[in-house]
A = this chain, B = another copy of it.
Amino acid sequence: MASVRVFGSPASAEVARVLTCLFEKEVDFQLIRIDTYKGKERKPDYLKLQPSGESLTYEDGKNTLVDSRAICLHIASSYNDQGNKDLLGNGTLERASIKQWLRTESQIFDPPSSTLVFYLAFAPLEGLDIEEEEVKKRKNELEKVLNIYDKRLDEVGFLAGDKFTLADLAHLPNIHRLMTMVPECAAMFKERPNVMKWWEAISRRPKWTRVVELQKEAPAVA
């Protein structure tokens, strides 16, 4: 099997998603990271937290990929015989459902959650202005998507069925930030019992908590 190399910081949600997938699939890989240290300033590297794929590059032999969800799909199907074999589901129907939920995550869940993390957790640290209108709009969007999730998770334990799959995995980095850094958004989760039960199940998986440990070494912070 070709050697896998990931370029980026675990502090990036994009990178964290890919690391979780590699750990779940028990893939050997190298992580190449560049952390910038400023002599005097305390400077959280919030740019790494943007939802764009700029902070992530994945190499697997000759292939180079930059989108974290596409990379996770690639890993799960390339290494189908090792590690967690349920990530891509079993059968075409389940796989289609997983892909649909990955699209929901990237198109409906990620935009409000990334923006809220940016404005409510990182902008204050940088002394940046908070666009109140944008925050209000994004909070409404997040409420709506969480209502859909709470209904779905009343029927099944995980988004694509009764097992943890890529559909759930893709949500880990941003929900972790909202839960740990943005109390007003954490409250939105806590108000929805099915969402909360799901979050508790997926967030205590050892492969994810390993990524959280990697994130704790704050890059570029004095």
How many of these chains are in the complex? 2
Distance in Å: Cβ of A79 to nearest Cβ of chain B: 9
* Dominant secondary structure of chain A at its interface with chain B: mixed
Residues of B within 8 A of A104 (CB): none
A213-B217, A217-B216 known; A30 vs B26 contact (CB < 8 Å): no
Residues of B within 8 A of A214 (CB): 217
Write the A4-39 contact mask toward B (1 if CB under 8 angstroms, else 0): 000000000000000000110111111111111111
A217-B213, A217-B214 known; A83 vs B34 contact (CB < 8 Å): no
Residue A40 is within 8 A (CB to CB) of chain B in the complex: yes
State in angstroms the CA–CA spacing of A33 and B26 once bound together: 21
Contact residues of A between 178 and 222, Cβ < 8 Å to B: 210, 213-214, 216-217, 222
Residue A82 is within 8 A (CB to CB) of chain B in the complex: yes
Of B28, B33, B36, B83, which is within 8 A of A33 by CB? B33
Residue of B nearest to A23 (CB): B37
**Cβ-defined contact, A31 with B31, below 8 A:** no
Residue of B nearest to A3 (CB): B36
Contact residues of A between 60 and 94, Cβ < 8 Å to B: 82-83
Distance in Å: Cβ of A35 to nearest Cβ of chain B: 5
State in angstroms the CA–CA spacing of A11 and B45 once bound together: 22
**Cβ-defined contact, B31 with A32, below 8 A:** no
**Cβ-defined contact, A28 with B35, below 8 A:** no
**Cβ-defined contact, B39 with A82, below 8 A:** yes
**Cβ-defined contact, B30 with A34, below 8 A:** yes
**Cβ-defined contact, B34 with A22, below 8 A:** no
Residues of B within 8 A of A34 (CB): 30-32
Chain A positions within 8 Å of B, measured between CB atoms, are 22-23, 25-40, 82-83, 210, 213-214, 216-217, 222
